Each structure stands twice: as C-alpha cells, then as structure tokens.
Copies of this chain bind each other. A is one copy, B any other.
Amino acid sequence: MPLHILPKALTALIDDFGSLPGVGARTAERYAYAVLRRNPKSAKQLAQSLDRLHDRVKTCPKTFALIDASEEISPLYADKSRNKQLVCVVEEPLDIVALERTGQFTGTYHVLGGVISPIDGIGPEQLHIPELIDRIKSDDVQEVIIATNASVEGESTALFLQRYIQEAGLTITVSRLARGIPVGVDLEYADQITLTHALEGRKQL
C-alpha cells in the first residue's frame, strides 16, 4: 500500500471539488487548501449552504425559474410591474440573471430547461414548450423574445420554437436577440458569421 501523502479528509474534499465543472486536480487542491487555511467557521458555512441548497430551492411551476422553496411563483412573474404579455424565452435559469443585470427588460421569463440536442438525446418534449404555449394563451402574450444561446443547438431550438408557435395558430410576434459585434471588439477579430449578422442587421443612423 502506498503511503498517503495528504490526510484522507483533505483528499476527500479535493475529489469533491474536482467534480465541479472545469475544475482539475490542481485547482481542486488549491480550493481545498484555501478552505483549510481559513478559519473553520467559513468551511462550516459553505458546508451549510451546500447542505441546505436542494431543500430550499425549487422550480417555479409557471416560468421554471429557480425560486425559494417558500415561494409559490417566481417574484419576477408575480411582480405587478412586469409585463406578462412580453415573454423572454431562455435556456437555463442563470440566463435570467444575465438579462436582469441589464436592467432594461420589463417583461417576464420562461425557462426552457435546455435546448434541442439529438446527440444528447434531448428532444422538444423534454423542454418546457407546451407550458410556454399555455402561457401565451392564458396571459394573452403579444411577443415572445427567443433568447437561446447563439450556438447551433440554440439556433435550431429558436427555429423550432418559432415554427411550433406558428403551427399552434398563434399570431404573435416572435423575435430573436440581435446578433452583431459585441461592445469593445475590433472588427478584425470578429468572425465571418458574426460580421454577416452585423451587416444584415445594420441600423440606419
């Protein structure tokens, strides 16, 4: 049996940290050692946050955003100042955070819970698409903004959604987030497809 170089409790924590996305062995070691060097209270606090997480978070039955277990419905939906006739469709709950940071959107959100991806065995039936159609009908939605990612899967999901809404006989506006050159990026570094989108979507000054 080889000697153990590190204490078992530390090795266990390194293994657990290593299971987080994008965390390799060295990074996991660094995190575990950082936790060990800080006072025990902050380790216990992180432990408690993790322990409580699943019990205290649930999914909103209407928008599929993440909400407190004590809440009935997403506060971003329940809030009277939000326009329920304008729905922004996102892939994942964290996308809402990114959009809310802009402070520019006053509508409501609908989380698909992923994108159509045949390779991963994810078809439209696994996404919250029927619930979106229900919302469009019950809330008299006027516009759906499709804010899926600019990936291949995100694009095809957007296309699918657009057709699905049409075929459901709903005559509402369906829009997609603009594609173009991000702020602060030089033209020479922009890729062909982004530039093509930027040309097509040009605005008259």
Contact = CB atoms under 8 A, between A and B. Distances in A.
Contact of A40 (B36, B43, B54): B54
Contacts of A71: 7
Interface string A146-177: 00000000000000000000000000000000
Contacts of A9: 49, 52-53, 55-57, 68-69
Contacts of A42: 16, 19
B13 A53 contact: yes
Report copies per complex: 2
Interface stretch (A94-102, A116-124, A133-141, A179-187): A94-102
B47 A20 contact: no
Nearest to A4: B75
Given A21-B34, A22-B30, A3 B75 contact: yes
Nearest to A10: B57
Contact of A7 (B10, B46, B56): B56
A61 to B, nearest CB: 14
B97 A46 contact: no
A72 interface: no
A5 B100 contact: yes
Nearest to A13: B49
Interface string A41-81: 01111111111111111100000001111010001100100
Given A46-B50, A68-B9, A3 B35 contact: no
A4 to B, nearest CB: 7
Contact of A94 (B3, B29, B40, B50): B29
Contact of A6 (B10, B33, B48, B66): B66
A8 interface: yes
A12 interface: yes
